Amino acid sequence: MVCMKPAAKIMILFLLLQLAFVALMLSAFVLPEKRIEKNADKFLYALNREGDYPKSVFKDASGVLDNFTEKMMLNNAKATTGNVLKDSMIPGYSRYWHGYVAFLRPMLLVFNYDIRHLYVAVFFPLLFFALILIRDKINAFAALSLLVSTILTSITSVSSSMQFAHVYLVMFASIIVLLAKNRLFLANHTAFLMAFLTIGAVTNFVDFLTAPLITLGVPLALFYVVAIRNRQEPHAPVLRYIILPSAVWGIGYAGTWISKWALSTLILRKNVFANALQQGTLRVGGSEEFPLRRLEMLTTNLYQTWATKPAVLLLAVFTIVLLYFAVKSGCRKSKIVQNLPLVLVAFYPLAWYNVFANHSQIHHWFTFRMMMVAFFPLFLLLSNLIGQKKICKTRSEHQIPHS
């Protein structure tokens, strides 16, 4: 029975999250329609003038804005039939939750195109607070690692994009909560797992398969480093701090998706499961129209991360700086081994790309952002080796008792 308690808590939390998602969607569609439609039309007019895929600062694919999808998001937000329950399931694209609607419709009561400015106004403060916490809990090099990793995934595009920003906002918020309450999560492993269940569920609620993996890999790597800096044993258990939270994140992510299919099938009286499985087969294995070329898919996603000269220069300079200070710190072999599980996290994008292979091939111009999970843990590994001698001397002052 004792072993079942954490599982029961996780199950109850999952059900509560699904209820909260339904409540948010329903509440969004009881708002007055006229102002929402008027502002949505103004926003749509501006997007139509820009074109479906305009470029931001950088003129390569990494700088492309997805106005095509954002127009669909606005149309979903303003499309109503008078049946609040059915409208909340977004009948035209019912296999996704479209959780962004819960926030977009209230914003459309007041704003139109300037909603993009609101995204920027939320994006950068969250990033700033995340960086401050990382600096305080780990070191300045770890904070710079997140900043550089975010820049490499085209910060100018994602910060103002309704399509791309959501996973970053979830990631930053997750980092802030996990690091601010790290003592709670170190002492209570069930609470730690429940946090990752919530992160996975919320990611699926708001995202369109853009770069969902960053909400797992980046917070996971950071918390693992916090764990090995604060725990008594020399090696924070990989099962406890990497494998189990990854699995629970997956349950939250996939389970939330499946619950949407079930609710849409029940409420809309159409077989959303069949549509989801058909699309899933296409996204995984391709089709005659979209044949899968796995090697090309992998190299394209990898290349896109440093497709510009400034990105190559930033990546090279920052890596050299980290290597220099890590070597200068005179790290012992035991310290390097202690950080090696971060390499496991760095392989997560490779696994994702191979599962969702066709989707990652067609949409490489935004799925490449999941490569952040490949290089950020490696940056973090080197960052955590810097100043390890000092950490060893003071470790006993910061230990958290095992529970």
Tens-digit pLDDT profile for residues 209-232? 999 999 999 999 999 999 988 875
Whole-number pLDDT of residue 331: 61
Whole-number pLDDT of residue 300: 87
Spatial separation of the C-alpha atoms in residues 156 and 330, rounded to whole Å: 37
Q: Is residue 402 part of a domain?
A: no
Q: Is residue 43 part of a domain?
A: yes
Q: Is residue 403 part of a domain?
A: no
Q: Do 60 and 303 contact (CB within 8 A), yes or no? A: no
Q: Which two tokens stand for residue 380?
A: 């973090």
Spatial separation of the C-alpha atoms in residues 144 and 380, rounded to whole Å: 9
Overall number of domains in the chain: 1
Q: Is residue 66 part of a domain?
A: yes
The structure's pTM equals 0.90
Q: Is residue 273 part of a domain?
A: yes
Among the listed residues 237, 139, 144, the one whose alpha carbon sits nearest the alpha carbon of residue 192 = 237
User: φ and ψ at 340, to 5 degrees?
Assistant: -60, -30
* Structural domain that includes position 306: 4-397
Print pLDDT tens along the chain (403 aa): 345 688 999 999 999 999 999 999 999 999 988 999 999 999 999 999 999 988 776 555 567 889 999 999 999 999 888 899 999 999 888 999 999 999 999 999 999 999 999 999 999 999 999 999 999 999 999 999 999 999 988 888 899 899 999 999 999 999 999 999 999 999 999 999 999 999 999 999 999 999 999 999 999 999 999 998 887 555 568 889 999 999 999 999 999 999 999 999 999 999 998 888 888 777 777 666 777 888 888 888 887 776 666 777 888 888 888 888 877 776 666 677 788 899 999 999 999 999 998 889 988 889 999 999 999 999 999 888 886 544 444 444 444 444 3
- Residue ranges in 138-188 assigned as alpha helix (H): 140-152, 155-158, 162-180, 182-187
DSSP for 218-266, please give it: HHHHHHHHHHHHHBSSSS--HIIIIIHHHHHHHHHHHHHHHHHHHHHHH
